[in-house]
């Protein structure tokens, strides 16, 4: 609920007084909330330190090693490549974050969150590539002022800031394509659970990366034909992937630039998965318009990506992706309402939002062509 202006000003005046903060931390009725808010502020202050502890766990392969079972610090230290004291400090920190679990007697097991990391290798890949994002975020004000022309992330995402992304070679696309393939496993089933492709014949995945999303869709729906469109070097990777998966003539991969080349025809459903948020406001509609133009009347477009303002996950859209994309040099997270307006503006007729099981990672809009 939004407070009226005068009440808001009063609340903020009161909350900013150290005497009130102290009183609220003691008074039994306000104490739990005061402590929770202090802890929340502390977590924001300490976020980078927590992230670096996770980075260290991933680099020394702590979670894979603990997945073998409970071990003592003395046993773990040489396996982690750390001195005993360093290993103990890391394990205590990891246990406090529930990445590991202290078992007594200087022994440690996998924690609940560490176990989740083992099950999702895509998260570890994200953590490792964050080294670039954090280097770019070192001076966030300079970034906001547009004063950092050389950024690691911009070099990593080879299609950003160039008029000719289709010229990118295999080397330039391999890093981000692998990262996207790994993390796509956190996304594809959530989208395919939310929207059934039973009634569709052919799915075109625009900017579909190495084809992980289409392979998942094709395995789930054996009647479905799938077409991938991406930059030539990425489409080449997808072609090889489709062959390895034995999809035969059910799957095609076509290389090109969405802004210059026509999309392949024949699909009755198109997907844009983690694509629109990569592009600035003047450019993102080009992707949606191209999808609309290739669809027949009544065809559907699926837009799946993390969105701004997701209830319960607000900082993931506007803080994490907002600043990640700023460092990358292109795009922004958008609310479902902003995306809906964009889709209606390029010729779609009806747009509805469908619930996904983990909206923090991806939300889903389905648009129908008039």
Ligand X SMILES: CC(C)=CCC/C(C)=C/CC/C(C)=C/C=C/C(C)=C/C=C/C=C(C)/C=C/C=C(C)/C=C/C=C(C)/C=C/CC(C)(C)O
Q: Mapping DSSP to helix (H, G, I), strand (E, B) and coil, where does residue 48 land?
A: helix
The contact mask relative to ligand X for 226-265 (x = CB under 6 A, - = no) is ----------------------------------------
Q: Give 274 or 300: the residue with its C-beta nearer to ligand X.
A: 274
Q: What sign does the dihedral 214-217-221-224 (CA atoms) show?
A: negative
User: Is position 65 an interface residue for ligand X (rule: CB under 6 A)?
Assistant: no
The two three-digit tokens of residue 278, written as one number: 């990569």
277 catalytic per annotation: yes
Q: Give 195 or 320: the residue with its C-beta nearer to ligand X.
A: 320
Q: What sign does the dihedral 51-121-248-200 (CA atoms) show?
A: negative
User: Is position 134 an interface residue for ligand X (rule: CB under 6 A)?
Assistant: no
The closest alpha carbon to 144, from 317, 327, 279, belongs to 327
Among ligand SAM, ligand X, none, what binds residue 234 when CB lies within 5 to 8 Å by partner kind?
Answer: ligand SAM
The two three-digit tokens of residue 95, written as one number: 């246990």
- 141 exposure class (CB count in 10 Å sphere: 0-12, 13-18, 19+): exposed
Q: Min. distance of Cβ 273 from ligand SAM in angstroms? A: 4
Which of 328, 342, 364, 367 binds ligand X (CB under 6 A)? It is 328
Q: Min. distance of Cβ 164 from ligand SAM in angstroms? A: 10
User: Is position 172 an interface residue for ligand SAM (rule: CB under 6 A)?
Assistant: no
User: Is position 358 an interface residue for ligand SAM (rule: CB under 6 A)?
Assistant: no
Please name the residues in contact with 366: beta carbons below 8 A apart, sequence gap of 6 or more: 195, 300, 301, 302, 303, 351, 352, 353, 354
Strand order in the sheet with 202-206: 251-255, 225-230, 202-206, 269-273, 300-305, 363-369, 348-354
The residues assigned a catalytic role are 277
Q: Which residues bind ligand X (CB under 6 A)?
A: 112, 116, 120, 123, 126, 157, 183, 186, 274, 277-278, 324-325, 328
Question: Which residues would be at the binding site for ligand SAM (CB under 6 A)?
Answer: 159, 165, 180, 184, 207-209, 230-231, 234, 257-259, 273-275, 278
């Amino acid at each position: 609920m939004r407070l009226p202006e005068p009440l808001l000003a009063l609340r903020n005046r009161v909350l900013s007084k150290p005497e009130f903060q102290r009183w609220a931390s003691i008074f039994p009725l306000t104490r739990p909330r005061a402590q929770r808010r202090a802890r929340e502020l502390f977590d924001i202050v300490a976020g980078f330190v927590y992230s670096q502890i996770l980075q260290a766990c991933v680099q020394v392969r702590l979670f894979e090693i603990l997945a073998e079972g409970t071990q003592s610090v003395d046993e773990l230290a040489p396996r982690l490549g750390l001195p005993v004291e360093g290993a103990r400090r890391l394990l205590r920190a990891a246990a406090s974050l529930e990445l590991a679990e202290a078992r007594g007697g200087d022994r440690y097991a996998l924690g609940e969150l560490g176990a989740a990391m083992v099950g999702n290798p895509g998260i570890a890949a994200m953590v490792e590539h964050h080294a670039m994002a954090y280097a770019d975020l070192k001076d966030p004000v300079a970034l906001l002022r547009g004063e950092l022309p050389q950024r690691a992330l911009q070099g990593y995402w080879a299609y950003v800031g160039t008029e000719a992304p289709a010229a990118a070679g295999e080397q330039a696309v391999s890093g981000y394509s692998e990262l996207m393939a790994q993390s796509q496993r956190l996304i594809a089933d959530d989208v395919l659970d939310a929207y059934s492709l039973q009634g569709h014949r052919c799915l075109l995945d625009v900017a579909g990366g190495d084809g992980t999303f289409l392979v998942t869709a094709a395995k789930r729906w054996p009647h479905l034909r799938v077409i991938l469109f991406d930059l030539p070097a990425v489409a080449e990777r997808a072609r090889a992937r489709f062959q390895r998966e034995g999809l035969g003539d059910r799957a095609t991969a076509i290389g090109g630039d969405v802004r210059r080349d026509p999309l392949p025809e024949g699909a009755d459903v198109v997907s844009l998965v983690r694509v629109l948020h990569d592009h600035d406001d003047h450019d993102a509609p080009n992707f949606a318009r191209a999808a609309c133009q290739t669809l027949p009347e009544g065809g559907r477009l699926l837009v799946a990506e993390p969105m701004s303002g997701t209830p319960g996950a607000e900082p993931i859209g506007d803080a994490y992706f907002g600043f990640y994309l700023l460092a990358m040099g292109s795009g922004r997270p958008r609310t479902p309402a902003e995306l809906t307006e964009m889709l209606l503006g390029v010729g779609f007729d009806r747009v509805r939002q469908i619930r996904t099981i983990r909206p923090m990672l991806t939300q889903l809009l389905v648009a129908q062509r008039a």
